[in-house]
Amino acid sequence: MLIDTYGRVATDLRVSLTDRCNLRCTYCMPEEGLQWLAKPDLLTDDEIVRLIDIAVTSLGIEEVRFTGGEPLLRPGLVGIVERVAALDPRPQMSLTTNGIGLKRTATALKAAGLDRVNVSLDTLRPDVFKTLTRRDRHKDVIEGLYAARDAGLTPVKVNSVLMPGLNDDEAPDLLAWAVEHDYELRFIEQMPLDAQHGWKRDGMITAGDILTSLRTRFELTPEGAEKRGSAPAERWLVDGGPHVVGVIASVTRPFCSACDRTRLTADGQVRTCLFAREETDLRAALRSDAPDEEIARIWRLAMWGKKAGAGLDDPSFIQPDRPMSAIGG
């Protein structure tokens, strides 16, 4: 079991498979990209599967989410999914992606055992997409979403970040489109995880702003805390249901007290929180032939030291050294 001093138990593992990405989203990284991890620093496929095996069989992990960077850039992704699906007990598996490579991989990922996907899409307008991501790939993401739905990677969840002056007027249109195509839309407040450290609380589009905008066109009924559980998204029924819309308000409505997540970076570091500045090295233990029991002990110790919250409401908050692309969402 992965328990901390506040009694929270981690059952959800987020695994970053690569720090690389084929987009350059303005809220994540600079236009020129970043200094990528050297290949020897990355966990191998075997190391990733071994750590997930330890997490599932010895530490109580029930759900595994593959992230990046962009996880579809990982050459061995399908094989990793297939091997994790063969674990006993078998964890639920999902993947967070920008969707660009889904058209060609969705069917193979479903056959390997992947359960569902989260796809990032911030706008319905190709010109705005190009401005936000610095790449002209809007059509590819839309086609990837269709492919995921057709392959049965459902529910397909769409993650959107609203940015002032760019797409902050699109919330109702995005929800209408998601309802039409049977996707579950989730808005995410912009978080201080950009490589440029340009994030400012003033001017960000808040959960309150998003809900006010949505209510100009839709009737929203809260699902309630009981249904939410430890999920990061608060959800509302849209016009009485069955469709729902979620808002992940990491900044203005933090949910740290119910957090059930632990994170593994692409280079084998445990992070107890997306906003943590400390990491615990599992790669060194792996490569020094430590037994599974020792790796599990190190992981438990790391989680025991998890802080009460992310500290975003603290005026002295300092952004993590790694951008979103390096630690996974």
- Say whether pLDDT at 70 is over 70: yes
Predicted local distance difference test score (pLDDT) of residue 228: 72
Binding site annotation covers 217?
A: no
Question: What rounded mean pLDDT belongs to the chain?
Answer: 89
Binding site annotation covers 27?
A: yes
Predicted local distance difference test score (pLDDT) of residue 192: 63
Binding site annotation covers 139?
A: no
Number of domains present in the structure of the chain: 1
Binding site annotation covers 123?
A: no
Q: 231: which residues sit within 8 A by CB, 6+ positions away?
A: none
Predicted local distance difference test score (pLDDT) of residue 201: 57
267-313 residue pLDDT tens: 999 999 887 888 999 999 999 999 999 999 999 999 999 998 765 54
Residue showing tokens 């506040």: 6
Q: What percent of the chain has pLDDT over 90?
A: 72
Binding site annotation covers 134?
A: no
Binding site annotation covers 135?
A: no
Environment class of 77 (CB within 10 Å of its CB; exposed 0-12, middle 13-18, buried 19+): buried
Binding site annotation covers 263?
A: yes
Predicted local distance difference test score (pLDDT) of residue 258: 87
Confidence class for position 118, pLDDT limits 50, 70, 90? very high
Binding site annotation covers 93?
A: no
Confidence class for position 251, pLDDT limits 50, 70, 90? confident
Q: Rounded mean pLDDT of 201-220?
A: 90
Binding site annotation covers 90?
A: no
How big is the CA angle at 182 (ends 176 and 185), to the nearest 5 degrees? 60
Q: Rounded mean pLDDT of 153-160?
A: 97
Predicted local distance difference test score (pLDDT) of residue 316: 47
Predicted local distance difference test score (pLDDT) of residue 224: 76
pTM for the predicted model, two decimal places = 0.89
Q: pLDDT: is 92 or 190 the higher one?
A: 92
Binding site annotation covers 83?
A: no
Q: With helix as H, strand as E and coil as C, how does the chain read? A: CEECCCCCEECEEEEECCCCCCCCCCCCCCCCCCCCCCHHHCCCHHHHHHHHHHHHHHCCCCEEEEECCCHHHCCCHHHHHHHHHCCCCCCEEEEEECCCCHHHHHHHHHHHCCCEEEEECCCCCHHHHHHHHCCCCHHHHHHHHHHHHHHCCCCCEEEECCCCCCCCCCHHHHHHHHHHHCCEEEEECCCCCCCCCCCCCCCCCCHHHHHHHHCCCCCEEECCHHHHCCCCCEEEEECCCCCEEEEECCCCCCCHHHCCEEEECCCCEEECCCCCCCCEECHHHHHCCCCHHHHHHHHHHHHHCCCCCCCCCCCCCCCCCCCHHHHCC
- CATH code of residue 270: 3.20.20.70
Predicted local distance difference test score (pLDDT) of residue 199: 45
Binding site annotation covers 18?
A: no
Spatial contact of 91 and 84, defined as CB atoms under 8 Å apart: yes
Domain of residue 47, residue span = 2-326
Binding site annotation covers 204?
A: no
Spatial contact of 324 and 16, defined as CB atoms under 8 Å apart: no
6-47 residue pLDDT tens: 999 999 999 999 999 888 888 777 666 677 888 999 999 999
Binding site annotation covers 146?
A: no
Binding site annotation covers 215?
A: no
Binding site annotation covers 110?
A: no
